[in-house]
């Protein structure tokens, strides 16, 4: 099962976008929800993560500009992006993970197509 992200678009530097991702089934079964991004030729990098208890983590370049949230009632996860910069241009993906007994995190879904975010200067 793939996760489908939506909400991308073309914006100018300084503007905002909100990305959305619907989780099939129940998000209650997902320990950690993530947003990743990838530029052409680059590696997929973790941008933000949120646990089932609401603890969050951000990549340094997006701290204070991006906010991840989850709505368990709607099985949704969001990424509010503010003060966008050209270097934020990438395809953004969402992913869900489960914390296994050994402490490792396993992906619960297949990667979807992502949503393109393009920020012009």
In the chain, what are the helix, strand and coil shares in percent, each to the nearest 5? 5, 50, 40
Q: What pLDDT, on the 0 to 100 scale, is given for residue 24?
A: 87
pLDDT digits (tens, 9 = 90+) for 33-53: 999 999 999 999 999 999 999
Say how far apart CA 26 and CA 29 lie, in whole Å: 6
pLDDT digits (tens, 9 = 90+) for 43-100: 999 999 999 999 999 999 999 999 999 998 999 999 999 999 999 999 999 999 999 8
């Amino acid at each position: 099962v793939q996760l489908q992200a939506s909400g991308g678009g073309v914006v100018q530097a300084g503007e905002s976008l909100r990305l959305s991702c619907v989780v099939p089934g129940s998000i209650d079964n997902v320990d950690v929800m993530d947003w990743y991004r990838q530029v052409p030729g680059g590696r997929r990098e973790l941008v933000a993560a949120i646990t089932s208890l609401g603890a969050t983590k951000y990549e340094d370049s997006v701290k204070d500009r991006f906010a991840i949230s989850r709505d368990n009632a709607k099985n949704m996860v969001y990424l509010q992006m503010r003060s966008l910069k050209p270097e934020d241009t990438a395809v953004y993906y969402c992913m869900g993970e489960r914390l296994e007994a050994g402490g490792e995190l396993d992906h619960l879904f297949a990667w979807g197509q992502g949503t393109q975010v393009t920020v012009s200067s």
